[in-house]
C-alpha cells in the first residue's frame, strides 16, 4: 500500500486534532484530552497574541476558557517539565520523565552541574525555605547583587529553583499570572513513589518512541526523536526493530523514498486515508510552537512549507514578522500572518498577511480566512480586526468587506 502525500498530511492532522473542527462545544475535559492526544503542550511566554500553549489549544478547540489549562495544572492533572522544550504534560507520563530528573546530565544548558556544585548553599537555602514556608515564586526573593536580571544573569534564587526543577526536587504547583509557583515534589505529586513506581529505562524510552509515532500519525524515522527531544535512538528503539516486534507498522508514502511508520492505534486512520475517506475541513491559525510546524524539515516534507520563527532574528533581517502565525486551511498551510492583539482597544491588528507562492486568492479562500480571523479576534476579546498589509490586494479588499459584515 502506497499512500499519497495528501493522505499522509491528513493522517498527521487527524492525529494532531486539526483535520476537522472540534465537534462539540469545548469543555474543561477537552483541554486535557487534547493535550493527551498531542502528548505534550509546549510553553512559551511571548504574548503579542495569546501565549503559545493557549493558542495551540484554541487552534484545535476553538472558543474555550484559557483558565481551564491553569486549573488542570493546579489540580495535578498536568505537570511541567522539559520535553520537546518546557512543556505541560499529562501527569500519567510523569514516570517517563522521572528518570531524566534523576539523571539530568544530558539536558545541556538546562542543567549546570558546576553551578550547582559552586552554589550548593543557595540551593539548600531554597529547599529549607520551601519546607518551612511552603510554595514560592522566584519573584518572592529580592535581588541582592544589583544586576539587571537579564537572561543569563538570573539571581541565585531563580537559578536554584530552575536547577531544583530540573532535578525533580521541586515541581510547578501552579502558575500565578503565568509565573511559576514551586513546591516540593512530594507535595505536588504525593502519590508518586520512586521505589515503587520507577520503571526500567528501556521501557520508558520505548513508550516515548511509540507515543511520538502515535502523535505524528505517520512519519519518517528521522522525525521520531525530535518530538520528545530524544537523542539518537538506540538499536532497540529504531522503528524497524519495533515493527519486527509488532509494536509499530510500516507502509509507504508517495515521493518519500523511504519507509513510513505508524502506530497500530492509527490503523483506522490509515485505512480511511487509503480509501480517500479522510477530508480536511478545518481552518485555523497555528502557533509557531505548534507540533505541526516546530520541526522545520517535517513541515517542509509534509506541507512544502518553509517556516522559521523570526522573533529571535534582528528586526531588519525579518522576512515575515516577529511572531508570524502559519495559516492552516483545509489540510494545507497556505500562508502566514503577523498579528498583534491590542487588548485595551479591542483591536486585533494584522500587520501583514502573506500567501504562499502558488496559492491563488478566491472568494472561497477569503470567506474561510475571514471566518478564521473573526473567531481568532473574538476569542482574544479584540472584536475589531484591522488589516494593514496583504501580499494579495484582491484578498485584502475581500477580507475587509467580509469582516465589516
| pLDDT, mean over the chain | 94
Instruction: Give pLDDT, residue 150.
Output: 47
pLDDT of 64 reads 98
- Are 183 and 314 in a shared domain? no
Is 383 a domain residue?
Answer: yes
Domain membership of residue 57 (yes or no) is: yes
CA distance 206 to 91: 18
Instruction: Give the model's pLDDT for residue 353.
Output: 98
Final residue in a domain of this structure, among 181, 197, 213: 197
Both 175 and 317 in one domain: the answer is: no
Task: Tell me the pLDDT band of 151, cut-offs 50, 70 and 90.
Answer: very low
Q: Does residue 147 surpass a pLDDT of 60?
A: no
pLDDT for 152 equals 45
All three cell numbers of 260, joined, read 513510513
Q: Say if 351 falls within a structural domain.
A: yes
Task: For 94-111, write each residue's pLDDT tens digit.
Answer: 999 999 999 998 888 888
29-62 pLDDT tens trace = 999 999 999 999 999 999 999 999 999 999 999 9
Q: Is 89 exposed, middle or buried (0-12, 13-18, 19+ CB in 10 A)?
A: buried
- Do 185 and 313 fall within a single domain? no
pLDDT in the model for residue 232 = 86
Q: Is 172 helix (H, G, I), strand (E, B) or coil?
A: strand
Residue 162 lies in a domain: no
pLDDT, position 106: 84
Instruction: Report pLDDT for 154.
Output: 62
Cell digits of residue 67: 483558565
Q: State residue 149's pLDDT score.
A: 47
Among 72-86, 115-129, 259-273, 277-291, the range scoring the smallest mean pLDDT is 115-129
The yes-or-no verdict on residue 374 having pLDDT over 60 is yes
- In this prediction, residue 99 carries a pLDDT of 93
Average pLDDT over residues 344-359: 97
Q: Is the pLDDT of residue 18 over 90?
A: yes
Q: Is 359 helix (H, G, I), strand (E, B) or coil?
A: coil
Residue 325 inside a domain? The answer is yes
Closest CA to 138 of 122, 155, 123, 150: 155
Judge whether 66 lies within some domain.
Answer: yes
pLDDT tens-digit readout, 83-142: 999 999 999 999 999 999 999 988 888 888 888 999 999 899 999 999 999 999 998 887
Containing domain of residue 72, as a range? 2-111+167-197
Q: Convert the pLDDT of each residue in 273-285 to its tens digit.
A: 999 999 999 999 9
Q: 76 falls in which pLDDT band (50, 70, 90)?
A: very high
Q: Residue 239: in which H helix or E strand, if any? A: helix 239-244
Q: Is 231 a member of any domain? A: no
The last residue of a domain, from among 175, 197, 219 = 197
Domain count, the chain: 2
Do 186 and 64 lie in one domain? The reply is yes
CATH number, residue 343? 3.40.630.30
Cβ contacts of 1 within 8 Å, gap of 6 or more: 251, 252, 274
Residue 343 lies in a domain: yes
The predicted model scores a pTM of 0.95
pLDDT at 94: 98
C-alpha to C-alpha distances, 180 to 243, 268, 298, nearest whole angstrom: 41, 40, 32
- Do 61 and 193 lie in a common domain? yes
Average pLDDT of span 252-276: 97
pLDDT at 155: 76
> In the predicted model, is pLDDT for residue 202 greater than 80?
yes
Q: What average pLDDT does this structure show over 174-180? A: 95
Amino acid at each position: 500500500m502506497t499512500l499519497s502525500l495528501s493522505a499522509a498530511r491528513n493522517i498527521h492532522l487527524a492525529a494532531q486534532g486539526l483535520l476537522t473542527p472540534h465537534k462539540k462545544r469545548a469543555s474543561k475535559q477537552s483541554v486535557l484530552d487534547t493535550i493527551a492526544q498531542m502528548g505534550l503542550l509546549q510553553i512559551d511566554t511571548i504574548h503579542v497574541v495569546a501565549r503559545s500553549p493557549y493558542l495551540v489549544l484554541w487552534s484545535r478547540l476553538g472558543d474555550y476558557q484559557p483558565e481551564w489549562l491553569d486549573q488542570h495544572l493546579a489540580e495535578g492533572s498536568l505537570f511541567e517539565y522539559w520535553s520537546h522544550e518546557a512543556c505541560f504534560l499529562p501527569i500519567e507520563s510523569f514516570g517517563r520523565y522521572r528518570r531524566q530528573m534523576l539523571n539530568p546530565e544530558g539536558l545541556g544548558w538546562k542543567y549546570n552541574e558546576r553551578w550547582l556544585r559552586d552554589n550548593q548553599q543557595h540551593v539548600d537555602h531554597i529547599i529549607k525555605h520551601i519546607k518551612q514556608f511552603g510554595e514560592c515564586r522566584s519573584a518572592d526573593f529580592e535581588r541582592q547583587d544589583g544586576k539587571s536580571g537579564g537572561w543569563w544573569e538570573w539571581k541565585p534564587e531563580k537559578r536554584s529553583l530552575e536547577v531544583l526543577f530540573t532535578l525533580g526536587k521541586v515541581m510547578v504547583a501552579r502558575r500565578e499570572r503565568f509565573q511559576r509557583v514551586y513546591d516540593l515534589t512530594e507535595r505536588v505529586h504525593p502519590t508518586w513513589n520512586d521505589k515503587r513506581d520507577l520503571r526500567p529505562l528501556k521501557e520508558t524510552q520505548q513508550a516515548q518512541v511509540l507515543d511520538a509515532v502515535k502523535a505524528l500519525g505517520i512519519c519518517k524515522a528521522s522525525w521520531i526523536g525530535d518530538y520528545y527531544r530524544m537523542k539518537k535512538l538506540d538499536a532497540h528503539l529504531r522503528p524497524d526493530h519495533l515493527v519486527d516486534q509488532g509494536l509499530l507498522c510500516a507502509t509507504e508514502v508517495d515521493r518519500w523514498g523511504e519507509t513510513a511508520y505508524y502506530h497500530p492505534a492509527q490503523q483506522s486512520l490509515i485505512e480511511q486515508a487509503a480509501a480517500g475517506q479522510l477530508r480536511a475541513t478545518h481552518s485555523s491559525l497555528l502557533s509557531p510552537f505548534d507540533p505541526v510546524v516546530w520541526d522545520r524539515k517535517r513541515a517542509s516534507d509534509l506541507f512544502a512549507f518553509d517556516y522559521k520563527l523570526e522573533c529571535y532574528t534582528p528586526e531588519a533581517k525579518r522576512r515575515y514578522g516577529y511572531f508570524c502565525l502559519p495559516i492552516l486551511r483545509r489540510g494545507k498551510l497556505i500562508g502566514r500572518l503577523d498579528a498583534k492583539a491590542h487588548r485595551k482597544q479591542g483591536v486585533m491588528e494584522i500587520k501583514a498577511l502573506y500567501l504562499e507562492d502558488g496559492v491563488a486568492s478566491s472568494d472561497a479562500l477569503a470567506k474561510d480566512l475571514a471566518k478564521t480571523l473573526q473567531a481568532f479576534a473574538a476569542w482574544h476579546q479584540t472584536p475589531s480586526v484591522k488589516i494593514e498589509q496583504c501580499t494579495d490586494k484582491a484578498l485584502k479588499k475581500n477580507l475587509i468587506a467580509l469582516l465589516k459584515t
